[in-house]
Structure 1
Amino acid sequence: MKRINYIVLKLSIAMLFVVFTAQAQQYDGMEKIVIDGEVYYLYKVKKSEGLYRISVNYGVSQKELLEANPDAAFGLKEGQLLKIPVISGRNSTKQEIQSTSYIYHTVEQGQTVYFISKKYDVPLKVIYDNNPGSDQTLIKGTIIKIPKELPKEQVTEENENENYIIHIVQPKETMYALSKTYNVSIPKIIESNPALKSGILEIGSSIRIPQEAKEVAVVKNEKQELEDDMYIYHSIEEGETLYSIAQHYNAKPNDVVEANPSADASDLKLGYLVRVPKASIKASKEEVEKGDNLFIYHKVKRKETLFAISRKYNVDVEIIKSVNSDKDLTRLRKGDKIKVPNRYWFKAIHEKEEELAEDAAKEREEVMDLTELDCNSYDYYLEKQTLKVAIMLPFNVEATLKANIIEEEDDEGEITEREREEKVVSRYSKVFVEFYQGALLGLEKLKEQGVNVEMFVYDTAPDSNKVKSILSNAEMPYMNLIIGPAYPQHLSFVSDFSKEHSIPMVYPFSTINHELTDNIHMFQAMPIDTLLFDKMADKMLESSVGKRIVIIRTEDAKSEFENKFSELIRNKVYWESFKEGVVPDFVEYKFKQDDLASLEKMFAKDKANTVIVPSIEEAQVNRIITTIKGAQSKTKADVTLWGLPEWLKYQTINPEDIHSLKGHMFSYYSVDYENKESSELISEYRKWFRTEPMAISPYFQNANVTSNISRYSLWGFDITYYFLSALKEYGKNFEYCISKHHPYAVQSPLNFERTSNWGGYYNSGLYLLKFDPDYSLKVEQVNK
């Protein structure tokens, strides 16, 4: 490892800056300087110039620029001098710079290859071909090469139709300023970046700016009104307001206001053309009621049940009962006629609820500014709407029914069947039944708060056709929330439905999610390790100031997971040290079995040691921990061992070793049994379901589906209560206020962050478990 005298380096840089300042007026940015053996260009920053433009011009990445100029992380100023690394093959000569064929992109937290392909308008295949290994999850700080020019055969229709400019938000920028800079209306910017409805422009975040599409053909309709595919254009007459125009067209007032951001509602000029969104115009009463079209009149067949009728029309049994309250549906006879609601009925009910909600909203507030969503103005108890939630999980009722039938052979060899006296749940159903039981406790807690909830529970087993059938149910477009599905193969169907109807959806079980970057309404509930690498690494290093940092790698180190996490920690260690002008006390060691002596030499005797094992391979982790314990016992070194969430599932790890090594482990789940609310809820669960609930991952146990404990009930409670209480607190726009939502949770520190301004949310909630040598355990929530 090359050691640098950073004090001398700092002085050298300072002196060079003084020398070159006098020549700055004539300086063209091509003269090279040498500092401690490294070759750089010295470049003077021009007015309003940013790192990105300089990096493109010189064929380096922003990361490489920042490593050479740490102060640039705080922004550039006109006249500031930058060191630009000279890299052979990229920018070592003027000709190379002028012919540079790549842009170098530094990956930021949460970015994917898909995101980068859209940012630079190149096909995914081009990035994969130019960056081997990029088909795996990207780590923050990775440098990606983007070709400036594409071969003709690689330019796709998708690229030609992608009409976006990517803008990086700068300090003090506003939506108004962006709209003027790019000559694009605020509503169009928000349409391309739905997350901006919150009104928050986060510095450094990426914004998609739509380039103006071709002019839309405008024609006159039968009433001689101007219209195009999206709008009717109404000419203002005396005395008219935006609200009266909305009423005239039977459209939602908020949508009319949002479609006309430049109109002054208090001073509408005669003749001004107001845009009325066609998508907002509701069906007239005549259309809904035409021919008594709210119901299908079903004639009951012989031995036909109410359940069979509900399945036939995809309408819930309880809804059919409610519209036939004058009939006794418990005794159906052949020839009876019953009413079954159709889509018009559901539409009419939904519109009535919308009208009541809008009336209540008008009484308490003015129309909300599109770009300044107020998270404190909603009051559920003024309207007290019924919150509708759909739970779509593979309960596999058929499997449970089959599990409760016992076949027996009598003395004559005949096979008979009987039902179990003590009912059981199929092993295929257990996890999802537990989740549902927890959800019921969440509803009970909301009921105590006076919240009305209507839960629609659907069994998605056995296949995708069942999921499609459920989504076609008449009531589904009017849900406030969808929880499900459970499996990745069903996700695209539900995600498309969620986007089409603007319904928030929670994906509660799998971590395989290909829809997250493309669905603004998606919540990825199960934490994804790779998205939390940065958060884990920061916590490790924050707790390691003044200590020796030792990374112990597996011998073959083939795991992509291990390699990327190790690289991230290494980069952070050197980056922080470089900024401070010190040489880091950092050791990286590849573990060899039975090589105890080498490991003993790694540990410092005069200071504490942070030992990080980035592997999630159980056999390797177990061997490494055992060896660390042996080396620590022999050297008496002060060691703190850091581990990953996966470790808590391993049964081969000796918990005593973890305590002895002051184990610090990240976890997504932890139950505080001393907390009063948690204890009361767990007692209530025992009373209701006569079994013991516990965290999904009990420490150093791999609890399986056949165990008698309930692993997913607390998860079901946390998810259901978190999202329904968000609906109660913030209304249908709760997605844009989710960062303010921190309700009571039993086992999971739910905390959602967006993947981008046009993507969904991922759960960044994280605990740090601290195992002490006295066998005590401390739990800390990682907030950074």
Structure 2
Amino acid sequence: MKKIIILLNLFIALFTISEFGMLAQEGIPQGTEKIIIDGQEYYLHKVRKSEGLYRISVSYGVSQKEILEVNPSAALGLKEGQLIKVPVIKGRNSTEEQLNTGQYIYHTVEKGQTAYYISKRYKVDLQDIYENNPGSNQQLLVGAMIKIPKKDVVKHDQSAIEEGYHLHKVAPKETLYAIARKYDVDIRDIIKHNKGLESGILTVGSYVRVPVKKADEETVVEPQLVDGSEDAIYIYHKIKSGETLYSISEKYNARSQDVIVANSSINADDLPLGYLVRIPKASIRQAKKQDPFKDAVLIDHKIRKRESLYDVEKTYGVPAELIEKVNTSSGIDLNDWRKGMIIKVPSKKWVEDYYESIRIVETDEAESGTEDAFAFEKQACDTYDYNISKPSIAVAVLLPFNVEATKAINYTLEEVDGDTIQVENEKRKLSNRSKVFVEFYQGTLLALDALKKEGVNVDLFVYDTAPDSNKVKQILNKPELRHADLIIGPAYSSNLKLVSDFSRVNNIPMVYPLSTSNSELENNPLLFQANAPDTLMIDIMAQKMIQQSMGKRLVMIRTESKDNAFEQKLSQLIRDKVYWESFKNGQVPDFVEYNFKQDDLVSMERMFANDKENAVIIPSMEEAQVNRIITTVKGAADKTKTPVTLWGLPEWMKYNTINPEDIHKLNGHIFSYYAVDYTDTINNERINTYRSWFGTEPMAISPFFQTASVNSNLSRYSLWGHDVTYYFVTALRNYGANFTHCIQHHQPHTIQSKLDFVRMANWGGFFNRGLYVVKFNPDYEVTIEEVE
């Protein structure tokens, strides 16, 4: 048998299968034979008419990516009669029994998904996924297909069931009303379970949680296209549980006999649920009066200190008279006016529609149906004016300052006249356990100084959460905390659920400022994670490196650490993106992967192209390995005289062993979450203020290629504290209590961090995807570029 040698491993990340797409194997064509090439067993498949990769992958129980790895040319299209190899994978498709039992669902892993996440989606035990997919307990690679044992999985077009919800993927041109009709639920119920939709924005490709109706509530539903609408003769009404033609007549104040005659085709004693009945307009004696404010589109507003009804009227541009009426309709007594109270304010568009309806017709139109009365509209982000009343913004900071630990190292016990007393040390110092959080707090004070100069009033409440969760519970029971506009904290994940639950129940936005792990992000739509999760950021970094390297030779240099999970994951991601970007443009990638060997300068030189620029990626965060590779790359570039751009990871900025001159010579492009532009006037003004206040230097976590330890004299977290505080207080100033709906527009001045928050899902919280590329040019200049 002819030996086939594949010089490059081709990996293509195909994202054509939706997150919840369920693949059922249909079996292989009769007569399909197996072959062995270089020790690997394959099915030899003959492409049939109109057959594509997706259908073949379903039939054989493999992913499209796995087929393309061994058939690179298939990425450019398939032809009828073409022979392609399909890998035989033990435990999945190696026997006819495995191919035809239909006992499994095959799921293609997408960005950010974990084995736990997938087990929840398909309602299977996590251990079942581990047992059927060796290695899945360590990591899942984007584009890989995993085997899920079938249980009670419900198929519902573009949805899947998740703990009482349909998960519906929004299609192009699909509206929220269409989704509500599809599942026969009220649009308000969808918004209630997807706080992100309160902004009025429904994004194509995003997922929406739709509450699953209980079996005893389900009805036979006709399309609701005309429910509640009317023509020249009739008003149309959808029959609900318990209704009769008589009760419907009463509802519309119509003559019952006329309604019965108009619907003679149905059995008046057994009305079918969901059926549309006709109410003759001529039979309506007088329109039944309804509460016109019942279905008003309302905005929640938290009353601030010294704020009056007149202030609210000016803030929203809505008459005080209507504010009073909608609150009365909602059961809210404005006579109980107090700071922190939540009142209802009708949207400006609804007010305009209300007055227009009065002008056109005096009869109430509330019976025209939910879709006519409820407006799913994009929230305005330019109506709030802080300067009208300049209310104080209440900010609560919950961090483990560990005051007792600092006291302990600043006082000594001495015997004086037979008594033991505490004597303060001459030179005060901070406990190492306190230093990070005190620095963050100093940055908060710096931000408040800038805000004060801008005319913003802030009430700051600072709480020491040390030593444990019991202290956090005590703080959360303080009455003033319920009236906070913003919570910054906690620092540790052990306290996160406590504070997150408090935030959600009391409708207070919170910022999780330091940790990268977050178990509550999916549960709290008011939670902001300031430190970006690694799983998201490596995807953004890989995409940036590939895009910037198009037209160049891309050389990925692997370290000698074969078992490093992070390096393996990032390397796989880079391979996927290289071949995907190339093949979708009909190009063959110029990509070389090299396993580094110490002192192998000759092999390194051969990796570089002489006729084009070379982009070098080292997907590692091991300092010793990275330093050795950089030194060798520098030697090879000098000897071959070839232009090189070296891409590096954020952790590299902390490596003392890296020679900054080498980074400049190699035109280093290093990713960083932090970067300070010292040519910026505002930055210099605020940094100088900090220096004068605290007598130390604030840095972007650490200087370039240096480690700033907790024992250093540098202030590592003060600028981070400034940026987080300034970002969120200015959001409250610019957009008010509903700033979460407008966060995509918020771009205030920050000193060291690009804060760019997006929702993780329509029902979940926000994470920060802000990132820089710091460019070390060969002429020894340093420039900073934001990653878009």
Correspondence 1:107 to 2:113: no
Q: 1:349 aligns with which of 339, 347, 350?
A: 339
* Counterpart mapping for 1:122-141 below 5 A: 122-136=124-138, 138-141=140-143
Deviation at 1:471, TM superposition (A): 1.1
Correspondence 1:605 to 2:605: no
Deviation at 1:138, TM superposition (A): 4.4
TM-score (norm 1): 0.73
Q: Give deviations 1:265-317, integer Å, cap 9, x for gaps.
A: xxxxxxxxxxx9999755897xx8xxxxxxxxxxxxxxxxxxxxxxxxxxxxx
Once structures 1 and 2 are overlaid, which stretch shifts more, 727-736 or 696-705? 727-736
Q: Answer yes or no: is the 8 Å Cα contact 2:43–2:87 preserved in 1.
A: no
User: Which residue number in structure 2 is paired with residue 212 of structure 1?
Assistant: 213
Deviation at 1:506, TM superposition (A): 0.9
**Is the partner of 1:496 in helix, strand or coil?**
helix
Separation in 2 of the partners of 1:670 and 1:65?
A: 43
Taking structure 1 as reference, are residues 378 and 634 closer, same or farther at Cα in structure 2, changes over 3 Å only? same
Separation in 1 of the partners of 2:75 and 2:198?
A: 28
Taking structure 1 as reference, are residues 123 and 733 closer, same or farther at Cα in structure 2, changes over 3 Å only? farther
Q: Any gaps of 5 or more consecutive residues in structure 1? A: 7-27, 152-158, 218-225, 227-234, 247-251, 257-275, 289-346
Correspondence 1:556 to 2:561: yes
Q: 1:2 aligns with which of 2, 6, 25?
A: 6
Q: Answer yes or no: is the 8 Å Cα contact 1:61–1:106 preserved in 2.
A: yes
Q: 1:466 aligns with which of 466, 471, 479?
A: 471
Deviation at 1:651, TM superposition (A): 0.8
Deviation at 1:170, TM superposition (A): 1.9
User: Which residue number in structure 2 is paired with residue 667 of structure 1?
Assistant: 672
Q: Give deviations 1:25-73, integer Å, cap 9, x for gaps.
A: xxx9959999x99955757889xxx999997676444656899999999
Correspondence 1:397 to 2:403: yes
Separation in 1 of the partners of 2:375 and 2:75?
A: 34
**Is the partner of 2:395 in helix, strand or coil?**
strand
Q: 1:243 aligns with which of 293, 298, 302?
A: 293
Correspondence 1:773 to 2:778: yes
Q: Give deviations 1:624-681, integer Å, cap 9, x for gaps.
A: 2122222222332322211100010111111111111111100000000100111111
Deviation at 1:432, TM superposition (A): 1.0
Q: Answer yes or no: is the 8 Å Cα contact 1:59–1:102 preserved in 2.
A: no
Separation in 2 of the partners of 1:82 and 1:149?
A: 37
* Counterpart mapping for 1:670-709 below 5 A: 670-709=675-714
Correspondence 1:493 to 2:498: yes
Alignment-mate amino acid for residue 465 of structure 2: T
User: Which residue number in structure 1 is paired with residue 169 of structure 2?
Assistant: 168
* Counterpart mapping for 1:285-434 below 5 A: 348-351=338-341, 354-355=342-343, 358=345, 369-382=375-388, 384-406=390-412, 417-434=422-439
Identity of aligned residues (%): 53
Correspondence 1:197 to 2:198: yes
Taking structure 1 as reference, are residues 85 and 734 closer, same or farther at Cα in structure 2, changes over 3 Å only? farther
Q: Answer yes or no: is the 8 Å Cα contact 1:752–1:763 preserved in 2.
A: yes
**Is the partner of 2:561 in helix, strand or coil?**
coil
Q: Answer yes or no: is the 8 Å Cα contact 1:749–1:781 preserved in 2.
A: yes
Deviation at 1:128, TM superposition (A): 3.1
Deviation at 1:745, TM superposition (A): 0.7
Deviation at 1:461, TM superposition (A): 0.7
User: Which residue number in structure 2 is paired with residue 296 of structure 1?
Assistant: none
Separation in 2 of the partners of 1:660 and 1:593?
A: 21
Separation in 2 of the partners of 1:548 and 1:474?
A: 62
Alignment-mate amino acid for residue 737 of structure 1: C
Taking structure 1 as reference, are residues 96 and 132 closer, same or farther at Cα in structure 2, changes over 3 Å only? closer
Deviation at 1:509, TM superposition (A): 0.9
Q: Answer yes or no: is the 8 Å Cα contact 1:32–1:41 preserved in 2.
A: no
Q: Answer yes or no: is the 8 Å Cα contact 1:718–1:747 preserved in 2.
A: yes
User: Which residue number in structure 2 is paired with residue 331 of structure 1?
Assistant: none
Q: Answer yes or no: is the 8 Å Cα contact 2:396–2:460 preserved in 1.
A: yes
TM-score (norm 2): 0.72
Q: Answer yes or no: is the 8 Å Cα contact 2:299–2:345 preserved in 1.
A: no
Alignment-mate amino acid for residue 108 of structure 2: T
Q: Answer yes or no: is the 8 Å Cα contact 1:110–1:755 preserved in 2.
A: no
**Is the partner of 1:243 in helix, strand or coil?**
coil
Separation in 1 of the partners of 2:216 and 2:84?
A: 44
**Is the partner of 2:482 in helix, strand or coil?**
helix
* Counterpart mapping for 1:41-56 below 5 A: none
* Counterpart mapping for 1:46-85 below 5 A: 59-61=61-63
Separation in 2 of the partners of 1:169 and 1:429?
A: 47
Separation in 2 of the partners of 1:770 and 1:244?
A: 58
Separation in 1 of the partners of 2:83 and 2:172?
A: 24
User: Which residue number in structure 2 is paired with residue 146 of structure 1?
Assistant: 148
**Is the partner of 1:587 in helix, strand or coil?**
strand
User: Which residue number in structure 1 is paired with residue 366 of structure 2?
Assistant: none
Separation in 2 of the partners of 1:349 and 1:636?
A: 70
Separation in 2 of the partners of 1:359 and 1:776?
A: 54
Q: Answer yes or no: is the 8 Å Cα contact 1:44–1:82 preserved in 2.
A: no
Q: 2:450 aligns with which of 445, 450, 456?
A: 445
Deviation at 1:692, TM superposition (A): 1.9
Q: Answer yes or no: is the 8 Å Cα contact 2:436–2:710 preserved in 1.
A: yes
Q: Answer yes or no: is the 8 Å Cα contact 1:255–1:277 preserved in 2.
A: no
User: Which residue number in structure 2 is paired with residue 344 of structure 1?
Assistant: none
Q: Any gaps of 5 or more consecutive residues in structure 2? A: 11-26, 154-159, 219-240, 242-250, 253-286, 302-325, 355-373
Deviation at 1:776, TM superposition (A): 1.2
Q: 2:624 aligns with which of 619, 626, 629?
A: 619
Taking structure 1 as reference, are residues 56 and 435 closer, same or farther at Cα in structure 2, changes over 3 Å only? same
Q: Give deviations 1:101-147, integer Å, cap 9, x for gaps.
A: 33232233333434323332333333333334434564533333322
User: Which residue number in structure 2 is paired with residue 178 of structure 1?
Assistant: 179
Separation in 2 of the partners of 1:70 and 1:501?
A: 55
User: Which residue number in structure 1 is paired with residue 601 of structure 2?
Assistant: 596
Deviation at 1:548, TM superposition (A): 1.5
Alignment-mate amino acid for residue 404 of structure 1: N
**Is the partner of 2:113 in helix, strand or coil?**
coil
Deviation at 1:732, TM superposition (A): 2.1
Taking structure 1 as reference, are residues 709 and 241 closer, same or farther at Cα in structure 2, changes over 3 Å only? same
**Is the partner of 1:200 in helix, strand or coil?**
coil
Deviation at 1:176, TM superposition (A): 1.4
Q: 2:579 aligns with which of 562, 568, 574?
A: 574
Separation in 2 of the partners of 1:516 and 1:581?
A: 39
Separation in 2 of the partners of 1:160 and 1:755?
A: 19
User: Which residue number in structure 2 is paired with residue 639 of structure 1?
Assistant: 644
**Is the partner of 2:339 in helix, strand or coil?**
helix
Deviation at 1:425, TM superposition (A): 2.6
